[in-house]
């Protein structure tokens, strides 16, 4: 009996030791993504497909419209038929960031990747939620639209342009510079989003401290009309309530142009340009499928889907529709590090414009 017990004990110790050794050698999702991201293209794709076939699932957190997300998922499944279970959880970027932080703190890792506003992806990186992945298509994305450390890549860009009602503003009167907005004729006739703190911070940085603050003080003396929301402002400009909206996302105005609305846009240098980003989570349950999805969305076919939905592809060799949304413009990537002091800029914006 004692001999049998000793044998069972020895076997149990051996099995436990094997399990421990296996666990010690097992890669974390973050390690998998880092390792695969360093492989040559052909070998990388082979390993990604082999791993993804075993996973079979993917969960994407996104702030984009459900129909847009579904179109992406259908195209991805057509490319990789074995990835049949691609689920989407939709929310605003702010709510998604809060959800991600809460899930991380409770050690609940369910999502594989995120597509949302670049500012919130930056904050997710600061929270330590993202994993590094050097995409196959990294070189097709310009400086400022891809994280130099490899944590995120811009999916589409969002230039801040001036929007105007072309029935109220004749071609010869369209302001062609930021200083043009300071003309006396526009006093009390300009509109601006009351949450445009990030644009405010970037213009101050680009113009330089002295020139930037001098300009913003002069602009505030134009009795700018503050409203909340880019879509609302687009509606107000279309309706003729104000002739000019100082900052608008160019794809929103272009959408209205397609619909026949009496609006147009002009890029006032410097054209601060935000992004919507895509990133893999550090603890993604399905890292192989997540890598395939990211590479697909950053490929030319994936970026063509971005264009089809009326957005501006971040990829350098894929033009938007129409090309004027990107071609020939002096786009200045927004400095995401300014978000570290966004409370300061928010307060200064309010002091100037919300009087």
Summarize pLDDT for 297-334 with one digit per residue, the tens: 999 999 999 999 999 999 999 999 999 999 999 999 99
The arithmetic mean of pLDDT across residues 201-216, rounded, is: 97
CA–CA gap between residue 247 and residue 242 (Å, rounded) = 13
Residue 36 has which token pair?
């695969």
Q: Which residues contact 32 (CB under 8 A, 6 or more apart)?
A: 51, 287, 288
Position 26 scores a pLDDT of 79
130 close to 283: Cβ distance less than 8 angstroms: no
Complete DSSP assignment for 21-34? HHHHHSPPHHHHHH
The C-alpha R_g of the chain, in whole angstroms, comes to: 25
- Classify domain 28-157+274-323 by CATH number: 3.40.190.10
Sign of CA dihedral 295, 296, 299, 304: negative
Burial label for 261, CB within 10 Å (0-12, 13-18, 19+), is middle
SS3 249: strand
User: Residues spanned by CATH 3.40.190.10 within the chain?
Assistant: 28-157+274-323, 159-272+329-353
Q: Any idea what the Cα angle at residue 281 is, between residues 276 and 285, rounded to 5°?
A: 135
pLDDT per residue as tens digits for the range 129-184: 999 999 999 999 999 999 999 999 999 999 999 999 999 999 999 999 999 999 99
Q: Assess whether pLDDT exceeds 70 at residue 25.
A: no
pTM for the model stands at 0.90
**99 to 19, 127, 134: CA distances (angstroms):** 34, 12, 26
CA–CA gap between residue 7 and residue 5 (Å, rounded) = 5
- Classify domain 159-272+329-353 by CATH number: 3.40.190.10
Q: Residue 107, Cβ neighbours under 10 Å: how many?
A: 7
- Percent of the chain at pLDDT > 70 equals 93
In 18-101, the DSSP E strands lie at: 57-62, 85-90
For 110, half-sphere exposure in the C-beta direction (CA atoms, 13 angstrom radius) is 13
Position 61 scores a pLDDT of 98
Q: Assess whether pLDDT exceeds 60 at residue 223.
A: yes
114 close to 279: Cβ distance less than 8 angstroms: yes
Position 211 scores a pLDDT of 98
Complete DSSP assignment for 146-207? B-TTSS-EEEEEEEEEEEEETTTS-GGGS--SGGGGGSGGGTTTEEEETTTHHHHHHHHHHH
pLDDT per residue as tens digits for the range 118-139: 999 999 999 999 999 999 999 9
């Amino acid at each position: 009996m004692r001999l049998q017990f000793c044998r069972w004990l020895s076997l149990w110790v051996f099995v436990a030791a094997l399990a421990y050794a296996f666990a010690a050698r097992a890669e974390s999702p973050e390690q998998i993504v880092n390792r695969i991201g360093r492989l040559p293209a052909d070998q990388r794709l082979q390993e990604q497909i082999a791993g993804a076939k075993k996973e079979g699932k993917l969960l994407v957190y996104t702030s984009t419209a459900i129909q847009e997300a579904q179109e992406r998922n259908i195209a991805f499944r057509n490319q990789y038929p074995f990835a049949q279970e691609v689920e989407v959880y939709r929310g605003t970027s702010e709510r998604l960031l809060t959800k991600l932080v809460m899930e991380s703190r409770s050690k609940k890792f369910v999502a594989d990747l995120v597509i949302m506003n670049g500012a919130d992806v930056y904050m997710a990186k600061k929270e330590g939620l993202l994993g590094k992945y050097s995409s196959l298509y990294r070189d097709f994305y310009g400086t400022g639209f891809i994280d130099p450390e490899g944590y995120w890549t811009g999916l589409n860009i969002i230039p801040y342009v001036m929007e105007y009602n072309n029935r109220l503003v004749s071609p010869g009167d369209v302001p062609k510079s930021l200083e043009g907005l300071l003309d006396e004729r526009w006093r009390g006739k300009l509109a601006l989003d009351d949450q445009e703190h990030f644009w405010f911070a970037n213009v101050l940085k680009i113009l330089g401290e002295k020139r930037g603050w001098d300009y913003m003080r002069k602009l505030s003396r134009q009795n700018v009309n503050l409203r909340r929301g880019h879509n609302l402002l687009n509606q107000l400009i279309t309706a003729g309530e104000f002739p000019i909206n100082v900052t608008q996302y160019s794809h929103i105005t272009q959408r209205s142009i397609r619909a026949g609305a009496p609006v147009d846009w002009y890029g006032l240098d410097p054209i601060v340009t935000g992004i919507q980003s895509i990133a893999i989570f550090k603890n993604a349950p399905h890292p192989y499928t997540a890598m395939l999805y990211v590479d697909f969305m950053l490929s030319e076919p994936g970026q063509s889907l971005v264009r089809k939905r009326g957005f501006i592809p971040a990829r350098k060799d894929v033009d938007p529709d129409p090309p004027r949304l990107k071609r020939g413009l002096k786009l200045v990537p927004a400095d995401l590090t300014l978000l570290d002091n966004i409370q300061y800029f928010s307060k200064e914006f309010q002091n100037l414009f919300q009087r």
